[in-house]
Structure 1
Amino acid sequence: MSTSTPSQPQPQPRPITILYGSETGTSEDLANELGRMLERCRFQPTVLPMNALDASTLPEHKTVVFVVSTAGQGDLPANALVFWKYLLRKNLLKDWLSGTKVTSFGCGDSSYVNYNWAAKKVRARLRQLGAQELMVHAEGDDQDDGGVDSLFIEWAKVLCDKLLQLFPLPPGVEVMPEDATIPPKWTLQPASTDSTLHPAPAGVSTFDFSLRPNSITATITKNERVTPETHFQDVRLFELSLSKPTVYTPGDTVSVLPRNPTTAVDAFLTLQPHLAPYADSPLELKPTPYLIANYPPELRPLPLVEPGKFFTLRDLLTNILDITAIPRRSFFQFLADYAEDPMHKDRLLQFSNPQYTEDLWNYTLRPRRTLLETLEDFNAVKLPLDALVNPYFPVIKPRLFSVSSSPFGNELPPPGAKPATETPASDKLELLVAIVKYKTKLSRPRIGLCSNYLASLPPNTPLNIVISHPATQSFIPKDPTLPILAIAPGTGVAPIRALIWHRLHTNPSTKTTLIFGNRNRSSDFFFHSELEMLASKSLIKLYTIFSRDPKPLLPDGTADTTKPEVGYVQKLISGKAWRDVYDNLVNGGVFYLCGSSGAMPKGVREAVGKVVMGGGGGGISYEQAEKVVNGLGKGGRWVQETW
């Protein structure tokens, strides 16, 4: 294993602040990767979520890098909103940041209309406040073959070179070689048993892994499969009883922090048998001499677990480390440091090299290969205990699920009842969750960590959750009297169901149209009874289409147009539902698109574009229609939640 050269003279502190806004963890991972790259250049990077920095102190930070993802309808992620709201204060002077150099990288998905809006807004506001740009702003796209990674690595290397030009190393100090191991900042040690201040109880954790800011305790009262046992996909309806009545609204999400299954934890300990003796013994974190020597107290990065708290390795593997994640590029560089086999080391370094992005893609993303399987393939890697608590190792991130119920309940208001003007608090909510479980082309099983964690929980199980509201733009139209048209295939119907019931209690006379699609009417037409009941009472207009049902034919072999169509929602948009889509366009209505990401959102936008081109007698080009559809997002009339 290679090491750095501690005998070199240490340069004066050269702090750089890296702030990230991250919803699913991508920006956080990239920010940490940039921190490691800068650390090799002998800088002292501090990597923080934007909300963790007191925004009023931003002018004190002379070099700041922002890595920002876009959430919702062009919003900043929740862990950046407090910081962002401070930046929007009108009393901030135009030269407030004149002494601060900044640059930014955006993480987005071009299937969304508001592609990379959050990063664009941050950049524009920083410039308004007088910040000087270090180098060009860049934006990565999840839809690219290599995701945001390929562009980010190129951009980060240019940034490191630029910073070394601005802040050259003193004589006798060199950049750490790429094959050198960055010394750990925290050490994981057996807990002191003779401590009178913090005695370590054998085998007992003193750290509560479930507590999170703004969390509440819920109890699972229903865990019901709503698809047949013979159906290829297991979809569950969960009912949660909340510990206190809570106000939530359509578009809200429930954040769940999953745990690794026992089988995965045992597999890790089997692959790293030298760590097994620590599995159930109390451990604690302590700063290393490298951290103390190179980072002043105010710049020290936060550890995974609060120092002074005791936990076991099994706790860490179960509750903190994402050992079933798909490993990122930086993880292979990390593993190479501990590979005892030269051939394994060379292969790991190849995967970490941006020149071999396609090889990395084929090894990780294409087969969805997990971290555990990587350790199995590279069994010459022997990880030291300290390696598990430093930022190369991925940590479990909360998963978000759209609320599928309304606090008003799933029943019609009494006849003659006045429309509600306020949303009541409720002690119940529902989630519709597709349990991710499948096999790859090589017959390797794949499971979604959080969905399978939820599926394993029987009724009466307590669950720590966080209910989150949309960041800035409400899921409910600003003008509640506007008509809406929702395109919601599959489990995308969950938030739309919540919105439908909310409107029935607050604006029952407002037009609501739903276009729903899935595979089979008999297997995965979710909430079919209530949706068909509402349609039969003309309370909503409902279009359905199923892609795997037999095509209805007349005896002569021609299509039976009286029967439900077979295909995808795009077919309905430009077909049977054409008039309702057009009316929603010209009457100022709001469009909702909820469901899986990938090809579907683009196909839906193109289908709506065809309606634009055909409306009003035609004469509109494809490019003009595309501008109209994109303009819906900018005007708050296109709400997209895809995953």
Structure 2
Amino acid sequence: MQLKVTNSPFTEEQAELFNRLLPTLSPAQIQWLGGYLAFYSAGASSAAGSETSVAIEAVSAVQEAPAAAVIEAPKDATILFGSQTGNSQRLAGKLAEKLKGQGVQVTLSSMNQFKTNNLKKAGHVFVLVSTHGEGDPPDNALTFYEFLHGKRAPRLEETKFSVLSLGDTSYEFFCKTGQDFDKRLEELGAQRIVDRADCDVDFDETASAWIASVAGALSSSAGATAAPASAAASAASVSLDGESEYSRVNPFKAEVLENLNLNGRGSDRETRHLELSLEGSGLTYEPGDCVGIYPQNDPALVERIIEELKWNPEEPVAAGKSGETVSLRNALEHRYEITVLTKPLLEKAVAYSGNEKLAELVKPDNKEQLKAYINGRDLLDLLRDYAPWTIAPKDIADLLRKLPPRLYSIASSYSAHPEEVHLTIRKVQYEAHDRERNGVCSVQASERLEPGDKLSIFIQQNPNFKPPVNPETPVIMIGPGTGVAPFRAFLEEREELGVTGKSWLFYGDRHFVTDFLYQTDWQRMLKDGVLTNLDVAFSRDTKEKVYVQHRMLEKAKELYQWLEEGAHVYVCGDEKHMAHDVHAALLTVIQQQGGKDSEAAAAYLAELQEQGRYQRDVY
């Protein structure tokens, strides 16, 4: 049956589109479309409703079934994300796009913006969350996490759910936050419709499969063709990086324009300032975003691993699950992680080791011994400590995980440096277990990267670390060491825009003479009024070590005044020590200057986080 313009309200172009689409649809798809149109017309005006009825009748005629046979309306879905660097948020957006394309009514929200009294009303809840630090929720998930695990959490017997959890298997509490959400939702009576998926740092395939599973489950519940439960075969249909030609899965090869050491002569540190060309890529970024670099493993370490196993470096091996093959040397240098040991890696390695001690080490009773062993060791250590081995080059694809990208906060404003991106990378090099250890990307940047060389990169947006929408809002920036990188981007952007709002930078490092990163930039910005206040702390220049949190306490009165005036606070750098110390200093300032007890001060700071006025980019 052909839809004709003469007997329908459609234009010739619309009728042509309809006639091209209908013959391609399966009976299940036609039935679903009929249900969707019926649902849509129910909320329209009477005139619009009569017009939609014509479309339903046309669909029904093709289907040779009465209009009354259409199934129930599309479902609703509430998608909640908790994200520190933006990965969970980006994936949540992909899920939302997928479900909207199926006619699902979607509510997409960060956890700290979601009104908890709406939770019980949500028919389907999908949680996407990363695990931060030592098994902690990310900042924008903390309040919702506490609510759900508290006494006020509602019973959710009418709710269906699934969880996508992001983490890193090199950490002890891998994906703990997602696992906690999954367990708690079940405890509250919610029904799991797709099993939780736990993602390692190489999350694209696992996340794609989970998104396809969720979409299939909702399609099935609405009467359309369901995706398979595992959705592994459907994963290819879900693109996680479709916005740009160059992305995480298709990185851009950026030319190195400059590679400078920011530390002065005599410093015991080395910090590289990289300037990369984005010319021809179409890539742009905003202050607060990151660059992901796919680095190269140390060729000398690769050579020692190959020698240890007496392998042929030119033997072809799988470069991943795509079917592509490369030489063994290339695979170990560019495709697989060899500098970090994880529990899953050791558990898989047991099958290739003739040493019974390895099987003993990975037993549940030896959790602490395993944790102590993997700390600071790499693949070469494992090969030497638990020989003999039966592993062959072809087995590395099953044994090793992909070499993950390294993320660095962008240290430049695109407005100030069009078609360029600047990075601040501190060299990581230390001795452990009688061997020198090298940071994969930082030592490559320091020792093996020259102007003219190219790096495989992508831009990762970080919507959770952004300057205020109103450029006149005061900003307080706290960034010791390389944590100062995004604040160079913030201030360059303000300089380009001619912003006159107040800005205050707290910066710290070891020595004023050799370690004051970007000193001339800050001095220029102070002189020009782009930077209002600058407080510095150089911990090794005084008898007693002084850090940024001490400078904050010294300026407590003025700092609190800025907070009361609506200032936004930004913290970037080490999560384990600095971020905790800065958080404690902020609480002290609020208590002392605001006349609040510890509980009220914590509530004040939590409210700043809820409002997006206290943002952290910590690692």
Task: Pick the TM interval, shorter chain.
Answer: 0.5 to 0.7
1:586 paired with 2:564, answer yes
Q: How has the CA–CA distance of structure 1 residues 445 and 384 changed in structure 2, closer, same or farther, with 3 Å as cutoff?
A: same
User: Distance in 2 between the 1:342 and 1:537 partners?
Assistant: 67
Q: Is the 8 A contact 1:98 1:129 kept in 2?
A: no
Specify the SS of the correspondent of 2:359.
Answer: helix
1:446 paired with 2:446, answer no
Specify the SS of the correspondent of 1:280.
Answer: coil
Report 1:126-141 matches (<5 A).
132=160
2:346 corresponds to: 332
1:280 paired with 2:314, answer yes
User: Distance in 2 between the 1:629 and 1:75 partners?
Assistant: 25
2:390 corresponds to: 382
- Cα deviation, 1:293-342, whole Å, max 9, x if unaligned, reads xxxxxxxxxx82422x34222222121111112x1111121111122133
Q: Which of 274, 285, 289 lines up with 1:248 in the alignment?
A: 285
- Cα deviation, 1:478-527, whole Å, max 9, x if unaligned, reads 22221101111111111001101111222421101111111111121111
The amino acid of 2:494's aligned partner reads R
Specify the SS of the correspondent of 2:352.
Answer: coil
1:434 paired with 2:426, answer yes
1:107 corresponds to: 131
CA RMSD for the aligned pairs? Answer: 4.3
Q: How has the CA–CA distance of structure 1 residues 282 and 537 changed in structure 2, closer, same or farther, with 3 Å as cutoff?
A: closer
1:201 corresponds to: none
Name the % identity. 23
Q: Which of 573, 592, 601 lines up with 2:552 in the alignment?
A: 573
Q: Number of matched residues?
A: 465
Q: How has the CA–CA distance of structure 1 residues 252 and 269 changed in structure 2, closer, same or farther, with 3 Å as cutoff?
A: same
User: Distance in 2 between the 1:158 and 1:631 partners?
Assistant: 25
Q: CA deviation at 1:271?
A: 2.0
Report 1:604-623 matches (<5 A).
604-616=582-594, 618=595, 620-623=596-599
- Cα deviation, 1:521-573, whole Å, max 9, x if unaligned, reads 1121111122123224443111111111034xxxxxxxxxxxxx950111111
Q: How has the CA–CA distance of structure 1 residues 154 and 615 changed in structure 2, closer, same or farther, with 3 Å as cutoff?
A: closer
2:66 corresponds to: none
2:612 corresponds to: 636
Q: How has the CA–CA distance of structure 1 residues 112 and 513 changed in structure 2, closer, same or farther, with 3 Å as cutoff?
A: farther
User: Distance in 1 between the 2:181 and 2:164 partners?
Assistant: 7
Q: Is the 8 A contact 1:485 1:591 kept in 2?
A: yes
Q: Which of 346, 363, 368 lines up with 2:360 in the alignment?
A: 346
Specify the SS of the correspondent of 1:233.
Answer: coil
Q: CA deviation at 1:75?
A: 6.7
User: Distance in 2 between the 1:158 and 1:535 partners?
Assistant: 51
Which has the higher relative contact order, 1 or 2, with Cα contacts under 8 A spaced 6 or more apart? 1
The amino acid of 1:230's aligned partner reads G
Q: How has the CA–CA distance of structure 1 residues 329 and 640 changed in structure 2, closer, same or farther, with 3 Å as cutoff?
A: same
Q: CA deviation at 1:399?
A: 0.7
- Cα deviation, 1:108-127, whole Å, max 9, x if unaligned, reads 3349533568989999xxx9
1:46 corresponds to: none
- Cα deviation, 1:449-483, whole Å, max 9, x if unaligned, reads 1111222111111222112222x446121222211
Specify the SS of the correspondent of 2:285.
Answer: coil
Q: Is the 8 A contact 2:258 2:276 kept in 1?
A: yes
Q: How has the CA–CA distance of structure 1 residues 151 and 373 changed in structure 2, closer, same or farther, with 3 Å as cutoff?
A: farther
The amino acid of 2:351's aligned partner reads D
1:257 corresponds to: 294
Q: Which of 79, 90, 94 lines up with 1:82 in the alignment?
A: 94
Q: Is the 8 A contact 1:104 1:119 kept in 2?
A: no
Q: How has the CA–CA distance of structure 1 residues 484 and 151 changed in structure 2, closer, same or farther, with 3 Å as cutoff?
A: closer
The amino acid of 2:567's aligned partner reads G
Q: Is the 8 A contact 1:340 1:380 kept in 2?
A: yes
User: Distance in 1 between the 2:562 and 2:366 partners?
Assistant: 48
Specify the SS of the correspondent of 1:545.
Answer: strand
The amino acid of 1:319's aligned partner reads H
Q: CA deviation at 1:597?
A: 1.3
User: Distance in 1 between the 2:383 and 2:268 partners?
Assistant: 30
- Cα deviation, 1:591-618, whole Å, max 9, x if unaligned, reads 00011110211211111111111224x2
Specify the SS of the correspondent of 2:279.
Answer: strand
Q: Which of 300, 311, 320 lines up with 2:326 in the alignment?
A: 311
Q: CA deviation at 1:622?
A: 0.8
What is the TM-score of this pair, normalised by structure 2? Answer: 0.66
Report 1:2-151 matches (<5 A).
70-72=83-85, 76=88, 78-86=90-98, 92-93=104-105, 107-109=131-133, 110=136, 113-115=139-141, 132=160, 146-148=172-174
The amino acid of 2:374's aligned partner reads T
The amino acid of 2:540's aligned partner reads R
Q: Is the 8 A contact 1:108 1:140 kept in 2?
A: no
What is the TM-score of this pair, normalised by structure 1? Answer: 0.63
Specify the SS of the correspondent of 1:496.
Answer: helix
User: Distance in 1 between the 2:182 and 2:385 partners?
Assistant: 29
User: Distance in 2 between the 1:446 and 1:223 partners?
Assistant: 22
1:358 corresponds to: 368
User: Distance in 2 between the 1:119 and 1:82 partners?
Assistant: 23
1:192 corresponds to: none
1:457 corresponds to: 449
Q: How has the CA–CA distance of structure 1 residues 336 and 149 changed in structure 2, closer, same or farther, with 3 Å as cutoff?
A: farther
The amino acid of 1:535's aligned partner reads L
Q: Is the 8 A contact 2:571 2:617 kept in 1?
A: yes
The amino acid of 2:345's aligned partner reads F
The amino acid of 1:639's aligned partner reads Q
Q: CA deviation at 1:625?
A: 0.2
The amino acid of 2:602's aligned partner reads E
Specify the SS of the correspondent of 1:266.
Answer: helix
Q: Which of 245, 267, 274 lines up with 2:304 in the alignment?
A: 267
Q: How has the CA–CA distance of structure 1 residues 104 and 429 changed in structure 2, closer, same or farther, with 3 Å as cutoff?
A: closer
Q: How has the CA–CA distance of structure 1 residues 219 and 447 changed in structure 2, closer, same or farther, with 3 Å as cutoff?
A: same
1:393 paired with 2:400, answer yes
The amino acid of 2:457's aligned partner reads I
Specify the SS of the correspondent of 1:319.
Answer: helix
User: Distance in 2 between the 1:500 and 1:535 partners?
Assistant: 11
2:482 corresponds to: 491
User: Distance in 2 between the 1:115 and 1:596 partners?
Assistant: 20
User: Distance in 1 between the 2:137 and 2:615 partners?
Assistant: 13
The amino acid of 1:460's aligned partner reads G
- The structure with the greater share of residues assigned to helix is 2
Q: Which runs of 5 or more residues in structure 2 are unaligned?
A: 1-72, 108-120, 150-154, 186-191, 194-245
Q: Which of 466, 469, 482 lines up with 2:473 in the alignment?
A: 482
Q: How has the CA–CA distance of structure 1 residues 130 and 480 changed in structure 2, closer, same or farther, with 3 Å as cutoff?
A: farther
2:263 corresponds to: 227
Q: Is the 8 A contact 1:488 1:515 kept in 2?
A: yes
Q: How has the CA–CA distance of structure 1 residues 583 and 154 changed in structure 2, closer, same or farther, with 3 Å as cutoff?
A: closer
User: Distance in 2 between the 1:101 and 1:518 partners?
Assistant: 45
Specify the SS of the correspondent of 1:108.
Answer: coil
Specify the SS of the correspondent of 2:326.
Answer: coil
Q: CA deviation at 1:76?
A: 1.9
Q: Is the 8 A contact 2:294 2:403 kept in 1?
A: yes
